[in-house]
Copies of this chain bind each other. A is one copy, B any other.
């Protein structure tokens, strides 16, 4: 195992941070690293907004579902899928953008995610820790207003960044054989493996919560998938110019 893989495998979500701020030069390194991720047809269809202002972070913490670490982290990065810049490119050449369809949504969302993962890894390599915040999609209209997002831009997720003030244990992943298939998809033997994994996750929670929690992975997932989450998203995306035609 080399140092890079050791870093990747030591990832944990960090939600508690020291008071230490993050130098501008460090943020620059992180953003530059994000930019070197691949991009679909080189569209570079994402933008990153860095929030340090305490009042803005407090508002965002509330809008993301009372996630206090957004307020306590020194820098909160919001990763947006961004087709607005492509519209600008069309305008430069006197053309009109055709942008509202499923593929442009996938393309820009994936672009934002690849850039974000590079940012996370760069940050971790510099001694920082962080956590992804999908809660940015809890109140996307209000977030868009606060961040002054124009048409054709939507916030996919945020990342809290800071110097770690906690050392959480790493959470076991699904068995490799469940995630990885050779030549074709085959889940015939997965159930048994997932049940073994359930016991592992249950034990993980028992240990981590001194017995207060013991739910398994399938329990968590089954409960999570009983109702539609963030049912406003389709309408919100349509209003932002991401209609899935």
A150 CB → nearest B CB, Å: 6
Considering the chains assembled together, what is the distance between the CA atoms of A42 and B11 in angstroms? 13
Question: Within the complex, what minimum Cβ distance (angstroms) separates A81 from chain B?
Answer: 10
Which A1-60 residues have a C-beta within 8 angstroms of B?
A: 1-5, 7-11, 13, 28-29, 31-38, 40-44, 46-53, 56
A118 touches B8 (CB 8 A): yes
In the assembled complex, the CB of A4 is this many whole angstroms from the nearest CB of chain B, namely: 4
Contact A185 B41, CB 8 Å, known A103-B229, A121-B8, A226-B95: no
- Complexed CA–CA distance, A220 and B92 (Å): 12
Report if A167 contacts B (CB, 8 A): no
Docked Cα-Cα span, A228 to B190, in Å, equals 38
A176 to B174, CA, bound (A): 37
A113-B110, A134-B40, A179-B35 known; A89+B49 contact, CB < 8 A: no
A47 pairs with B184, CB closer than 8 A: no
B2 and A126: CB pair below 8 A? Answer: yes
Query: A244–B109 Cα gap in the complex (Å)?
Result: 15
| Interface residue total, chain A, C-beta cutoff 8 A | 117
Stretch at the interface among A66-74, A141-149, A206-214: A141-149
Is A161 in contact with chain B by the CB < 8 A criterion?
Answer: no
Q: Which of A98-125 contact B (CB under 8 A)?
A: 98-99, 101-104, 106-107, 109-110, 113-114, 116-118, 120-122, 125
Across-interface contacts of A237 in B (CB, < 8 A)? 102
A157 interfacial contact with B, CB 8 Å:
yes
- Please provide the 7 A-B residue pairs with the shortest distance between their CB atoms, ordered closest to farther: A113-B113, A4-B125, A117-B117, A89-B221, A89-B218, A102-B233, A35-B173
